[in-house]
Amino acid sequence: MKVFLTVSITSLLFLASVQQAEPQVNTGDDPNVVTQDQRASLLFKGATIAPLAPGNDDFFVGYLAVDDAGRIVAVAPGEPPATLADATVVDATGKIILPGFVTGHNHLWQSAFRGWAPDGELYPWLETLHRSGRFFLEKGDYYAFTLHGALDQLSHGVTTSYNHSHTVGTADRLQYLEQFEAEVDAGQHFVFSYIMDHSIGPEAATNDLDAFIERAGSLPAPNPSLEVSIYGSGIWGGEENFQLEVALAKERGLTSQIHFLESSVMNENGRNEHEEFVRLVELDLLWPGLSFAHFIHTDEAMLESTANYGTAMIWNPLSNGRLASGLADIVNARKLGVRIGMGLDGQASGDISDPFENMRMGLYAIRMKYQSAKVLMPIDVLRMHTIEGAEVIGVADQVGSLEPGKWADFLIVDSRHPATGPVTNLYASLVFSFSSANVESVWVAGRKLVERGRILHIDFDAVKDDVARRVAEVKERQ
């Protein structure tokens, strides 16, 4: 991550001095051959391991070695070499190890507001939700709600989350950034989608962004902040603002994400997103670092342009179904070469943070639409929720698959607790039969943070009590 030294006075509050440790990576020809100068502190053996590395769907019974920094040293079939004899052994015989889930579009603060507007499509639901937002601007609200959302996802096996953050009108900027502080404390790896404050002018807004990038990159190791992204808010506030956001993202090697074509109501609030898409193409604002959240109501020409520019999309089946938004044309998008990741969206629209349910919902809906079981396979949605999702949000070099040098973010899954039957086809069983209840443990950067759904590093019961109190106060203030 690049470091920028131009900061505003306000943003100086965020500066820190401890740099993230460099990964310990094998320097030999074979990344899975452990050399004498490498050490592993943890060794998982006996499991069926599905690395889900790019372009490789192989799985095997073998071992996974993790070093003190929380990075993967080796992952390979068979018995571990003698060089790993000093590591603490975790016997995972009969279990499955797979990468932690990546969710590419989320609003973590919404975890406090599940079940709201049960009869509302997108815009009535948004009105209900954002009306409540005007009443939760008390100090600590964003922090508590976001912490709850991140821990909830973690307990369901999500180890990396792209947080499409949120601010309400006149909310204090430091209060808005409580969301970032909560994610740091949650321990889940994350990408924070930073909302630029265009009201203070381009130069000051740029300085604030650069200071935030520096803050995010200088947290103590292991740093849970994988990258900063830019929330494409400028698309709603004028072409100049969005052009600035895109230019800054490209210059700084960041990604950007915008909500696009979620609702079938094209002219809601005077907007027509099909016309806006044409304008994005005219202004050369489609690029590989941009992803569209939802991207449901497209036509073939739009999908072709998206693929040609390398722009990606995040598919959110649970949320899209809950809000009756529609079903994205995943089959045609894949055929044309659009890169696709999966997201759980906000817990007030997706309601449940279970990636297994998200994969099933999406897979089954596509099969029903096409009346074919061959158009989309279990391995396809599993990849969208791991390595391909990581690629879309720009962090596939760090997470999303089990490969030497990457963070040791993984799940140990037990097919017998609760019983799901014999595993005869690994990927089919994982997607068709499993749920987050089958997740025995969740590991982030080589640390076990969840065991049988129980958060180990934070008193989650206290967090739940705090959120319940704050939501009750929000209702009283309405």
> Cα dist. 24→40, 72, 390 in Å?
10, 8, 21
CA nearest 451: which of 439, 461, 441?
Answer: 441
**pTM exceeding the 0.85 threshold for the entire prediction:** yes
- Does residue 40 lie in a domain region? no
- Does residue 215 lie in a domain region? yes
CA nearest 156: which of 101, 104, 113?
Answer: 101
Burial (CB count within 10 angstroms: exposed 0-12, middle 13-18, buried 19+), residue 269: exposed
HEC secondary structure over the chain: CCCCCCCCCHHHHHCCCCCCCCCCCCCCCCCCCCCCCCCCCEEEEEEEECCCCCCCCCCEEEEEEECCCCEEEEEEECCCCHHHCCCEEEECCCCEEEECEEEEEECHHHHHHCCCCCCCCHHHHHHHHHHHHCCCCCCCHHHHHHHHHHHHHHHCCEEEEEEECCCCCCCCHHHHCHHHHHHHHHCCEEEEEECCCHHHCHHHHHHHHHHHHHHHHCCCCCCCEEEEEEECCHHHHCHHHHHHHHHHHHHHCCEEEEEECCCCCCCHHHCCHHHHHHHHHHCCCCCCCEEEEECCCCCHHHHHHHHHHCCEEEECHHHHHHCCCCCCCHHHHHHHCCEEEECCCCCCCCCCCCHHHHHHHHHHHHHHHHCCCCCCCHHHHHHHCCHHHHHHCCCCCCCCCCCCCCECCEEEECCECCECCCCCCHHHHHHHCCCHHHEEEEEECCEEEEECCEECCCCHHHHHHHHHHHHHHHHHHC
Can you give the CATH number for the domain in which 241 is found? 3.20.20.140
What pLDDT does residue 4 have? 32
φ, ψ at 253 (rounded to 5°): 70, 35
- Does residue 442 lie in a domain region? no
Other residues' Cβ atoms within 10 Å of the Cβ of residue 133: 21
Give 104-133 pLDDT, tens digit per residue: 999 999 999 999 889 999 988 988 887 766
Q: From CA 167, how far away is CA 109, in angstroms rounded?
A: 10
Burial (CB count within 10 angstroms: exposed 0-12, middle 13-18, buried 19+), residue 278: middle
- Does residue 369 lie in a domain region? yes
Q: From CA 54, how far away is CA 403, in angstroms rounded?
A: 10
Q: From CA 269, how far away is CA 416, in angstroms rounded?
A: 51
Give 399-427 pLDDT, tens digit per residue: 999 999 999 999 999 999 999 988 999 99
Tell me the sheet residues that pair with 45: 63, 91
- Does residue 268 lie in a domain region? yes
Give 334-372 pLDDT, tens digit per residue: 999 999 999 999 999 999 999 999 999 999 999 999 999
Give 453-464 pLDDT, tens digit per residue: 999 999 999 999
Q: From CA 145, how far away is CA 123, in angstroms rounded?
A: 22
Give the amino acid at 247.
Answer: A
Burial (CB count within 10 angstroms: exposed 0-12, middle 13-18, buried 19+), residue 295: buried
Give 236-252 pLDDT, tens digit per residue: 778 899 999 999 999 99
Q: From CA 288, how far away is CA 132, in angstroms rounded?
A: 35
Domain range enclosing 327: 101-392
What pLDDT does residue 99 have? 98
Burial (CB count within 10 angstroms: exposed 0-12, middle 13-18, buried 19+), residue 451: middle
Q: How many domains does the chain have?
A: 1
User: Which residues are within 8 A (CB) of 383 and not within 5 positions of it... i.e. 6 or more apart?
Assistant: 52
Q: Where on the phi/psi map is residue 45: left (φ > 0), alpha (ψ -120 to 50), or beta? A: beta
| Tokens representing residue 285 in the block | 């604002």
Tell me the sheet residues that pair with 102: 160
**Size of the chain, expressed as the number of residues it contains:** 478
HSE value, Cβ hemisphere, 13 Å, CA-based, for 322: 23
User: Which residues are within 8 A (CB) of 344 and not within 5 positions of it... i.e. 6 or more apart?
Assistant: 103, 105, 106, 153, 158, 316, 318, 319, 350, 353, 355, 358
- Does residue 301 lie in a domain region? yes
Give the amino acid at 205.
Answer: A
What pLDDT does residue 266 have? 55
- Does residue 8 lie in a domain region? no
Give the amino acid at 28.
Answer: G
User: Which residues are within 8 A (CB) of 301 and not within 5 positions of it... i.e. 6 or more apart?
Assistant: none
- Does residue 227 lie in a domain region? yes
Ranges of the chain with pLDDT below 50: 1-28, 36, 170, 267
Q: Are 437 and 454 in contact (CB under 8 A)?
A: no
What pLDDT does residue 418 have? 95
